[in-house]
């Protein structure tokens, strides 16, 4: 009926196809940011130290999920930094499920981490290898609020510019694991000799720190096309600062940094609001205490404010040299890695059972009874665990995500070997499975290597680095 219809449609396609392709290529880079309040109610136990968690009696500063969504026209990714010590994988899986159902954003395009503030209420299982049958009230609340935050960030998507940079701040990060002088008598909870003391104090037999530190702050910043600040995500390898008031809920220096950088950028009271976050880098063996020098007493929150201000000032100083991009390629990879769950040796198991058989026996080694219970828990746990690893590419910036408290040794190796410069690691991302010492640090011993502090095979850090570098290669 229409003998020339095919020729007409072919000609028409030739006319419009180049324009359609060009339009797809010119889709603007977009970004959206938002926060969601995740403050727990009072009365819950404040976790992060030995012993029974003390009840929360006062909210010094509200806790938030700080959400960033990036969109290059072909892919959307979400990064969420939560003001909490860490979050079990199953809670985050539920948050991601809610996001996917509500928005279509794939779960494997979502990275969620905890900052590791030691003044929050737990959203973790007592044993990460044996999840509970039901979420606690706070776990359910947290999953829902994370999902709400990402949905709000998606709602706020708009054309944007992005830049990334680095700043060095060496004066606030110190290795907390110290080698002692030869002949020092040091034992783990199972009575086994070791060479390293965590948080040793000002003892006379200190030799040297057991690892280097990473003084680099890496960050990316977002602006509207007309230059209005939108958001900033930074990363620093500092465990936490601490020094709160008694029984206080607080987001630690991480939130104080967010507040201070907002002030320095003149980004207060914008619509939509500016959002900043400080994610935790590879800080499993690092804190803010220099054991080689006397430590001055501080008032509550004074040290936090100092660290937050110095971090914010260091980032602000880099702003004039930033290169802003209106289009950048995004890439993200996710992989599940199977790791062996660490088990007690026959000697450790015998020691643990001996300790637990006598309820009146006083500890003869550090935290002996506590770690006897942990040894039994490890024994009764599954033999393997699957953990989520992620890599992200934002233009020339690389990000890795690891669900452990990672040693700086590993973070520095990833930075050196990554094809993207700069690169940073977000720890306690997509779950939390304890400390991740390197094999070399395992040989030295110390709190972070004890069975129960470290919960997976001693070669885990090597396997994780290799997997992440393979995933980075897929993004080049």
Q: What is the pLDDT of residues 41-53, one digit of tens each?
A: 999 999 877 778 9
Burial 398-414 (b: 16+ CB within 10 A, else e): bbbbbbbbbbbbbbbbb
Co-location of 409 and 291 in the same domain: yes
Co-location of 360 and 439 in the same domain: no
Give a yes or no: residue 202 inside a domain.
no
Co-location of 290 and 359 in the same domain: no
**Residues whose CB falls within 8 Å of the CB of residue 133, separated by 6 or more in sequence, listed in order:** none
Number of Cβ atoms within 10 Å of the Cβ of 323: 11
Co-location of 104 and 47 in the same domain: yes
Q: What is the pLDDT of residues 237-285, one digit of tens each?
A: 999 999 999 999 999 999 999 999 999 999 999 999 999 999 999 999 9
Going by their DSSP bridges, the two strands 397-402 and 423-427 should be labelled as: parallel
Number of Cβ atoms within 10 Å of the Cβ of 81: 29
DSSP H stretches of helix in 285-367: 302-318, 346-357
> Which pLDDT score, from 0 to 100, does residue 1 have?
37
Domain interval for residue 429 = 30-175+208-338+382-475
State the average pLDDT over residues 47-68: 92
Co-location of 171 and 84 in the same domain: yes
How many domains does one find in the chain? 2
Co-location of 299 and 391 in the same domain: yes
Q: How far apart are CA 426 and CA 81, in angstroms?
A: 9
> Which pLDDT score, from 0 to 100, does residue 25 have?
60
Structure tokens at 229: 């600040």
* Predicted TM-score of the model (pTM): 0.94
């Amino acid at each position: 009926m229409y003998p020339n219809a095919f020729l007409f449609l072919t000609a028409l396609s030739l006319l419009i196809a180049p324009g359609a392709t060009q339009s797809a290529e010119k889709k603007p880079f977009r970004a959206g940011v938002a926060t969601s309040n995740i403050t727990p109610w009072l009365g819950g136990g404040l976790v992060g130290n030995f012993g029974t968690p003390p009840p929360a009696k006062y909210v010094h500063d509200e806790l938030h999920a700080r959400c960033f969504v990036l969109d290059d026209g072909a892919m959307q990714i979400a990064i969420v930094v939560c003001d909490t010590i860490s979050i079990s994988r199953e809670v985050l899986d539920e948050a991601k499920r809610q996001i996917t159902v509500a928005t279509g954003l794939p779960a494997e395009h979502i990275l969620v981490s905890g900052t590791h503030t030691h003044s929050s209420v737990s959203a973790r299982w007592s044993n990460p290898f044996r999840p509970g049958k039901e979420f606690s009230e706070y776990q359910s609340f947290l999953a829902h609020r994370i999902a709400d935050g990402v949905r709000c960030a998606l709602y706020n998507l708009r054309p944007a510019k992005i830049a990334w940079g680095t700043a060095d701040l060496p004066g606030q990060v110190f290795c907390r694991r110290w080698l002692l002088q030869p002949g020092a008598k040091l034992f783990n909870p199972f009575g086994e000799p070791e060479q390293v003391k965590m948080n040793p104090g000002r003892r006379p037999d200190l030799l040297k720190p057991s690892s280097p530190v990473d003084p680099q702050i890496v960050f990316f910043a977002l602006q509207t096309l007309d230059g209005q600040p939108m958001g900033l995500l930074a990363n620093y390898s500092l465990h936490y600062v601490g020094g709160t008031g008694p029984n206080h809920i607080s987001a630690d220096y991480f939130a104080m940094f967010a507040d201070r950088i907002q002030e320095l950028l003149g980004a207060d009271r914008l619509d939509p609001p500016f959002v900043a976050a400080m994610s935790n880098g590879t800080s499993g063996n690092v804190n803010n205490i220099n054991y080689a020098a006397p430590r001055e007493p501080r008032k509550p929150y004074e040290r936090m404010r100092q660290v937050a201000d110095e971090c914010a000032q260091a980032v602000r100083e880099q702003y004039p040299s930033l290169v802003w991009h209106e289009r950048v390629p995004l890439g993200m990879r996710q992989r599940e890695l199977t790791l062996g769950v660490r088990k007690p040796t026959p000697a450790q198991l015998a020691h643990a059972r001996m300790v637990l058989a006598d309820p009146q026996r006083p500890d003869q080694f550090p935290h002996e009874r506590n770690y006897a219970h942990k040894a039994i828990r490890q024994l009764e746990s599954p033999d393997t665990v699957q953990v989520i690893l992620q890599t992200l590419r934002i233009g020339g910036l690389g990000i890795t995500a690891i669900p452990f408290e990672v040693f700086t040794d590993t973070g520095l190796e990833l930075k050196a070997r990554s094809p993207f410069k700069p690169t940073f690691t977000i720890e306690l991302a997509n779950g939390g499975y304890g400390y991740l010492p390197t094999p070399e640090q395992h040989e030295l011993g110390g709190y972070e290597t004890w069975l129960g502090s470290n919960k997976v095979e001693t070669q885990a850090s090597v396997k994780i680095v290799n997997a992440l570098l393979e995933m980075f290669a897929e993004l080049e």
